[in-house]
């Protein structure tokens, strides 16, 4: 068994879901939080997959990654390449991370351990470094959320009608949704680049507030409002207040059984 533990690991052994903790140096949004890597390695030692960084299942960042595996040293070099979706406090800035992880197999356990570093989105700064210890698990903690976020028919079968294209020079956009006019029971869902950010919430005089961060690797962000019902006074209408840096926009969105309302934000570097 001791001799077997010294042999290089095959790619089949490393494929799967790995979960553990990421301990960050001072300066991070959370000192210690959870990390899940869903790893796929092909016969050419190429790595692909997705990562979840989370304090809990309501506060997380999901990213896509790629990389390579050194079979002799049993080292995985993983580079996150883009953010797929995130739900974090407004004062937290997601990072695009790089990992150097060593695979170790003992008689009763398997681990991936190593270090990380990276760059905050929008070049906001360098990510605080951290250390990682992961163990293999059978099922993702985000299985139910991934199923819940599958695109509904109301998003795929209706026409997404572009209401306006707005140029922004800030990486953080605030959206406030109100009922437009009489409170009549309108309920909406909101998607940012096909990822749900508001799910089946009723419109009132109190705003539904969400934040959209602009990833400089994806210059266009599409926001789609889906009317989940027509209320007592059809169609489903909402007032959306956009705050982008020092600029403020007031838009009136309409959704019915044939169409959704879409707004596109285009990021332009400030002078």
* pLDDT tens profile 203-245: 989 999 888 887 766 778 899 998 888 766 778 889 999 999 8
- Indicate whether 74 pLDDT > 70: yes
pLDDT at 196 over 70: yes
Average pLDDT over every residue of 157-175: 89
pTM of the model: 0.56
What CATH number does domain 2-145 carry, 1.10.3470, 1.10.10, 1.10.1760, 2.40.128?
2.40.128
Name the burial class of residue 177, with classes exposed (0-12), middle (13-18) and buried (19+) by CB atoms within 10 angstroms of its CB: buried
Q: Is the pLDDT of residue 118 over 80?
A: yes
Q: What is the dihedral of CA 118, 120, 124, 128, to 10 degrees?
A: -50
| Helix or strand holding residue 133 (H, E) | strand 130-137
CA–CA separation, 130 and 97 (whole Å): 10
- pLDDT of 190 above 60: yes
Q: What is the pLDDT of residue 114?
A: 93
Q: Decide: residue 217, CB within 10 A, 0-12 exposed, 13-18 middle, 19+ buried.
A: exposed
Decide if pLDDT at 9 tops 70: no
Percent of the chain residues topping a pLDDT of 90: 32
Q: Which of 76-85, 140-149, 153-162 has the highest mean pLDDT?
A: 76-85
Encoded tokens for 105? 């197999």
Nearest alpha carbon to residue 94 among 215, 193, 196? 215
Query: Is the model more confident about 183 or about 80?
Result: 80
In this prediction, residues 16-20 reach a mean pLDDT of: 93
d(CA 151, CA 146): 10
């Amino acid at each position: 068994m001791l001799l077997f533990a010294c042999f290089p690991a095959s790619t089949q052994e490393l494929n799967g879901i790995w979960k553990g903790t990421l301990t960050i140096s001072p300066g991070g949004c959370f000192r210690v939080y959870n990390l899940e890597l869903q790893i796929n390695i092909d016969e050419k030692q190429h790595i692909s997959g997705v990562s979840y960084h989370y304090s809990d299942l309501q506060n997380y960042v999901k990213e896509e990654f790629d990389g390579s595996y050194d079979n002799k040293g049993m080292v995985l070099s993983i580079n996150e390449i883009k953010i797929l979706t995130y739900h974090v406090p407004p004062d937290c800035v997601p990072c695009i991370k790089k990992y150097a992880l060593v695979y170790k197999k003992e008689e009763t356990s398997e681990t991936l351990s190593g270090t990380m570093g990276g760059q905050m989105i929008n070049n906001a700064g360098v990510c605080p470094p951290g250390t990682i210890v992961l163990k293999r698990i059978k099922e993702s903690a985000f299985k139910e959320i991934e199923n819940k976020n599958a695109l509904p028919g109301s998003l795929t079968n209706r026409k997404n009608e572009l209401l306006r294209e707005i140029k922004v020079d800030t990486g953080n956009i605030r959206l406030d949704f109100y009922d437009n006019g009489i409170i009549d029971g309108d309920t909406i869902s909101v998607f940012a680049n096909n990822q749900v950010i508001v799910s089946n919430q009723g419109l009132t005089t109190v705003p539904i507030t969400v934040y959209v961060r602009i990833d400089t690797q994806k210059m266009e962000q599409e926001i789609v409002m889906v009317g989940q019902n027509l209320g007592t006074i059809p169609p489903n209408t909402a007032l959306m207040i956009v705050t982008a840096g020092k600029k403020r926009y007031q838009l009136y969105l309409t959704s019915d059984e044939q169409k959704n309302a879409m707004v596109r934000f285009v990021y332009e570097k400030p002078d």
